[in-house]
Structures are given as structure tokens and as C-alpha cells.
Structure 1
């Protein structure tokens, strides 16, 4: 009787109806998360609960590749060990319990990947839902605050996305997805969807431009330069030549625009140019507190914490303490309340040490191996472009620890990663 119930349970969990239901929940999470709707947390919880039985069946299957499962367990162990170390090295401020959220939050994509199943149509619809969520969020913010008019007038606008850096990041990812969808566009409504995707790209470039985040601009420009080389087999050399010609034209227009020139002039006034010159010259003792200077000084302050606890770090709590215990930062009223290092890798080193950063490298290596092994040339190229961009911008902001960053990370990788459901015959 117990065996029959178990088999019946497996058939329900692995049934087509259950599969479609969970996929719809993933789409609902994607659409509702970016506007900041509380409902998205409900859908996220349903994804985790609904995927748990499938994960259990995967673990029972002796032939199933459990690499990502083992890595998830390792993430929890690393955070527990780091917490135990914090009880020794910073007992006065260490938490009374381990916080396992920082690294574990990176794994939501695995549960989403179950329901995408490397299916092309499902992937494209999931990515389309992300663009829809972004566009609706921007227009809703404009409806409330008339933000597009402010943007057109030359003011820096974030459209309600935490801060302008996240807005620019979301716009850049939206453009990448729009191009990917356009290159995969087929079927009855080819013309209509092509027009919509081109409009999405134009809108994305508008938001990218008016939100004015330089590190995202640099990262996006980097992938624009690399993209044609990665997809030359798909597009051909004539299209690539046309792309570079168009890129040079667009860049010339952007660089000569008043808004771009004002942003560059503003950076000079804030002292970023001088900061770069001092860094290149090796004069690190008195870096001015410009926008980039704050980042670089925070990395220097983190160096002492990393050298004191190189192996396992001192838990997530230590990240905030880097600046809180810094005389340089506490003596400046404007930046006294800063609690992050504007660099994901530095934060991982402070919190989890060399073991933690090694885990991150292994994590992305395993993802890359999986996606490239199970994808066509176009999808592999899109993944490489995205991951280069993502790893680059995380060197200037901790996107992997913030809501919008984790959302993009998990939706994109969830759509690309191949995590097949086990056979109904699992015993």
C-alpha cells in the first residue's frame, strides 16, 4: 500500500498538469517581482514548496547529476563555518545564529530551471515576462511621478528601482534579452513581435541612457564589443560589419550628446579622474572621496579584514563592520552610514574568505559548463554575453546580494540552466 501511494505521489508531481501549473507560477513570479509587489513573495514561496518534492526525487535517483545539490549544501556549510568563526573573532557583534541567506539565495534559479526544462518556447516566454515586468514598472512609476518627463529634461532618474545603478542594469539586461528574442523570433506573428522587440530595445536604450550609471555603461559597452565575435557563426560577417558600423554611429551620437558630456564633466568635478590617476600612479594613501574614490577606499579598508580572517571570513555581519569601524569613513558625515563595499567579490572575501570566493568561482563554472553543454550556439552566446556582463558589474556593486540583482540572476539562469526532472520510475 505504501509503495502504491508513493508511486501515485510521483506521478502527480511529475505529471504534465503539475508541470504546467508550476511553470505558470514561475511566470507570475517574474511578472510581479520587479514592480515590488508583495504578491511576488507568495509566488516565490510556491516555487520553492512546489519544487521541493521534485528535488527530493532527484536526490533519490542514483543516476541523477547532483552537482548543484551538493553545491547548495556546501553553501550552507560555508556560511555556518563562517558564522562559527565570527563567534571567535568578533564575539561582541556576531549573530546568535547563522544567516544562510547570502549564498543560498543564489540557488532559486535551480527550482525555476525544473519547470523550464531547456524548452525553447518556455524560455522565451519567461524572458518576455521579465521585459514586460520592467516596462510596466517604469510606466507605472512615470504615472505616479512623471519621471519620464524629468528624464527627458536631463535629470537622472531611477524609476523607483532602489537606485539608478539598478535601473541601468535592468535596462541593459532588457536590451540583451530583446536582442536574443529578436534573433529567435519565428512564426505567425513575426512582424508584430519584431516591432515590439525593436521598441523594447529603443526603450531600454532610453532608460539606460537617462539613468546614467557609468560602470553599467562600461560593462554594456564591453559586451557590445564582444557580442558579434561570439555570434559570428549565427549572423555572418556582413551582419557583424553592419553591427559595428551602427555601433560606432550610435556611440558617436551618444558621446557628443549634452547629457553624456554633462555626466563626464560632473565626474571630473567630483574628482573621479584624479582618483584614477592616483590609483594608476600607486598613490593610495590619500584617495579623495569621490564616487569611485569611495569604492576604492572601501576596498582598501576591506583588505585588513580579509588578511585577519583569510580562510573562512567573519560572516556577513563583518561586511558592515568594515566601514563602521573605519576612521576614514566615520569621519565623513555623508558616507558614515554606508554598510556595503560596492564590490560583491570583496564582500564574499570579508564574509566567507578564500573558501567563499572559491565557492563562487566553482558555482559559475558549473553553471557555465551546464548551459554551454546543453544549449545551441545562439543560446550559449547569449549566456556568455550575459555572464561576462554580470561578473563585471558585480565588481562595482553587490548585485548578487540585493533583490533586483538576485531577481535577474535567477530568472536568466533559471531560463538557461538544464535541470531535468527525474523519471517517474525513480525508486
Structure 2
């Protein structure tokens, strides 16, 4: 679907072809080619016979999805709803669904993954689901046909999401979700205070936040020992890191991350502009002599930002920063023009904060799980941005456009 959509954009997407995502996809390909070429010239023993252009290109599959969604809010919500249904099926009737629920309730130390990579990845999926649940609470609780079906379905999804987030014991997701939801709540409260919107919007916010608080308290009481143990387990490592006492940091879960990040910074300093090529993350781990075998077995750096920097340097990270800026500004302007619903814009903003923070503790975007979630959300946002551009003839980056240039 994504690939055929990309082809359709290139063939029939007049106007869309000149927007930033297509140019940034080209820039990503060129950056990867440059990095590979420099490595093949200077370190041929550490580079493959062909560049792996899919490493960054796969992050632009949302282009095809956005094309097929056609700027439609209904299509976007249906697409996201189908993805949510698939996720719920995985943790319920999937091969590991019921078995992992039972193990998690019987053994507080067990971290269920439901057959999806490891426990951190379901935590990421359901963290995003929790943000969506809060964002779309008002839409799900409004009156009309199937009202109670929608409300019960929404409540079930919220309960399952919070339970999975607690049981998977992923501290990076906990922190990212807390920061994202706090920012979302503050933004909505300021907006409501400034515009004095209807009780409908206020009710949706109150229902969403109250449900999270109540279910969170219940989950916290049920898994109190698990939560306390995970939060206190490696608190001393933060203190040692801030003091620069790296020799005092053990090679534990958090410790491995700190040590691998140190190694990555050293390698980055040698090739800051173009990096070490598409295999840089494993290259750093394998060839840093002072890292023990336990750390080397992971094969990645547990940090997407560092992985992009080490692989493709400042140029590679710059491509992603510009993409984030284009989507962020475009979301804002499409919402201000009334062409993107408020709940979709709010979800997009919350997801951006959540996903960026979560990727500082695990390399989600380097795996299929993170790429899938990223492209799915981006597709829904970009299709509305393109709709806004088509109807207004404006570009996202006002300072860079000339006339009716479609940036």
C-alpha cells in the first residue's frame, strides 16, 4: 500500500511532488550514498558491497499512505482504528496473548512481549494508544448512534493499554508518556481558557484524564511492588552519570545504555558530518574494546538519535529534524485553518513528544515496530497537511515559499 502510494504520488501527484517530504526522501537517499561512498573510500573493510538505502528511506513510507488517505479525516480514523484492532487482537487471541497475561499476573517480574520483539515494543504501541485514547475521548463519548458501544470500546482499550504499559515495565515509555500527557493537558487547558469552548470539549478532556488517573491508580496498586522495584532499581546510575563517575556504573539495563552512549560519542567525534555508514550501530558496539561481551550482544545503541548521528552524521539527523519541523508547522497551520480536527492535531503533538523521548531510551525507529507506528501516524497527519496546501495554495515554510510554491 505504501509503495504503490509512493509510485502514485510520483506519477499523478502534481503539486504534492514538490512538497518537503519528497525532497527530504531524496536528501535521505543522497546522505546515505555519501556516507557509504566515504566509508568505501576510507574504510572499505567496514562497509558492504552496496549501500543499504532502506535504513532511512523506510521512514518515508508515510508518503504513500498519506496519498491513499486522500486528505480524509474519516479514512484516517478508519485506518488508525484498523491498526488498533490488529494490536488488540495480538494481545488477546494472538499466539502469546492469553499465556503472557497469565504469566504477568502470576509473576510480577515477568515482562510480557506478546510475541512482538521484546516487552519494550508493546509498551511503545500502547503508550501511543493511550495518547490516542485521551485525544479522541470526546469523539468516542459523544451522543448518537452506537454511543454506548463506542464508550465501552474506548474504556476497554484504555484499561488494556494502561495494564500493558505497567506490566511491560518499560521506564522510558513511562517517562515519555508522563511528559507527553502533561504537555497535552496543559495545552488543552490553556486553549479552553483562552477560547471558552463548549462543555463538549471540556467533558471529553475530563473523561479522558479522569480515566487515565483512575485506571492508573488501580494498576499502580495492583502492581505496586513491580513499579517501585523498576523505578528504584538503578537510580544510583543517574547520580554516577551526572558526576562523570563512569567507572562506577555497572553493566545493568541502564548501565549498558550509558556505556554504549559513551562509546557512540567517541566514534561520532571522528566523523561528525557523514558518520560511519549504515552498519555503524553494530560497528561501534563490536569494535569498542572496553565494552564487555554482554553489552556487545545487543548490537545497537538503545538511542535512535545517536544511531542516526553515528551512521549518517549531522547531515542525516538534519534531514529528520527538517522533516519533524515541516510536519509540526504543517499540523499547526492545517489545524488553524480548520482543515485538521483538533483531536487529530492534539494526538499528533502528543505523539511527537512521546515518540522523540521514547527513542532516546530505545532504538524503536531502527526496528520494524517503530517504523510502522511512525509511518502510520505520520500518514494521517501529512494527508491533512497536503489537503490544507491544496485548498489554500500555501507552503508550510512561509519564509521559503515564493508565490504559490508548495513546500
Q: TM-score range by the shorter chain?
A: 0.7 to 0.9
Aligned counterpart, 2:381: 416
Q: Is 2:238 aligned against 1:276?
A: yes
Task: Give the Cα–Cα distance (whole angstroms) in 1 for the partners of residues 145 and 231 of structure 2.
Answer: 49
Instruction: Give the match for residue 49 of structure 2.
Output: 96
The TM-score, its normalising length taken from structure 2, stands at 0.83
Superposition pairs for residues 123-202 of structure 1, below 5 Å?
123-141=76-94, 146-153=99-106, 154=108, 155-185=110-140, 187-202=144-159
Measured against aligned partners, the alpha-carbon deviations of 1:99-148 in whole angstroms (never above 9, x if no partner) come to 11111101111110112123121111111111101011111336676221
Structure 1 SS opposite 2:45: coil
* Structure 1 residue 284 displacement after superposition: 2.5
Contact 2:120-2:170 within 8 A present in 1 as well: yes
Q: Is the 8 A contact 1:344 1:400 kept in 2?
A: yes
Contact 1:113 1:417 in 2 (8 A): yes
Do the aligned residues in 1 keep the contact of 2:123 with 2:165 (CA within 8 Å)? Answer: yes
1:390 Cα shift? 0.6
Deviations 1:266-309 (A, max 9, x none): 5655xx22211101222234421111110011010011210110
Offset from partner CA, 1:309-346 (integer Å, 9 cap, x none): 011111121211111012232x33x3332210000000
Count of residue pairs brought into register by the alignment: 371
- The 1-side partners of 2:370 and 2:260 are apart by 21
Counterpart of 2:404? none
Distance 1:220 1:214 in 2: 10
Name the SS of the counterpart of 2:254 in structure 1. helix
Q: How far did 1:249 drift?
A: 5.5
1:404 corresponds to 2:369: yes
Say yes or no: does 1:315 pair with 2:280: no
**CA shift at 1:51, angstroms?**
4.1
Change (3 A) 1:121 1:238: closer
In the alignment, which residue of structure 1 is the partner of 2:357? 392
Deviates more, 1:239-248 or 1:181-190: 239-248
- Contact conserved, 1:372 with 1:380, CA < 8 A, in 2? yes
Tell me, in whole angstroms, the C-alpha distance in 1 between the residues paired with 2:23 and 2:210: 47
User: Per-residue CA shift, 1:43-91, capped at 9, x if unaligned?
Assistant: xxx4413541332232xx3686422111111010000001011113322
Correspondence list, 1:9-408, <5 A: 46-58=1-13, 61=14, 65-141=18-94, 146-153=99-106, 154=108, 155-185=110-140, 187-232=144-189, 233=192, 251-255=216-220, 257=221, 259-265=223-229, 268=232, 272-329=234-291, 331-332=292-293, 334-374=294-334, 375-408=340-373
Distance in 2 between residues matched to 1:382 and 1:50, nearest whole Å: 24
Distance in 1 separating the partners of 2:139 and 2:205: 17
Deviation (angstroms), 1:422: 8.3
CA distance in 2, matches of 1:134, 1:242: 23
Preserved contact between residue 277 and residue 311 of structure 2 (Cα < 8 Å): yes
* C-alpha separation in 2, matches of 1:313 and 1:417: 29
Is there any run of 5+ residues in structure 1 with no aligned partner, and where?
A: 1-45
Give distance in 2, aligned partners of 1:203 and 1:71.
37
Structure 2: tracts of 5 or more residues without a match: 335-339, 392-407
Summarize the Cα distance change of 1:242–1:405 in structure 2 as closer, same or farther, 3 Å threshold: closer
Secondary structure of the 2:47 match is coil
Work out whether residues 91 and 98 of structure 2, in 8 Å CA contact, stay in contact via their aligned partners in 1.
no
- For residue 151 of structure 1, give the secondary structure of its aligned residue in structure 2: helix
Determine if contact 2:139/2:204 at 8 Å carries over to the other structure: no
State the 1:371 CA deviation.
Answer: 2.1
Indicate the larger mover: 242-251 or 183-192: 242-251
Q: TM-score, normalised by structure 1?
A: 0.80
The answer to whether the Cα contact below 8 Å between 1:89 and 1:314 also exists between their aligned partners in 2 is: no
Secondary structure of 1:83's match?
A: helix
- Please say which of residues 203-212 and 373-382 is displaced more in the overlay: 373-382
* Alpha-carbon shift at residue 203 of structure 1 (Å): 1.2
Q: Secondary structure at the match of 1:184?
A: helix
Q: Contact 1:156–1:212 at 8 Å: present in 2 too?
A: yes
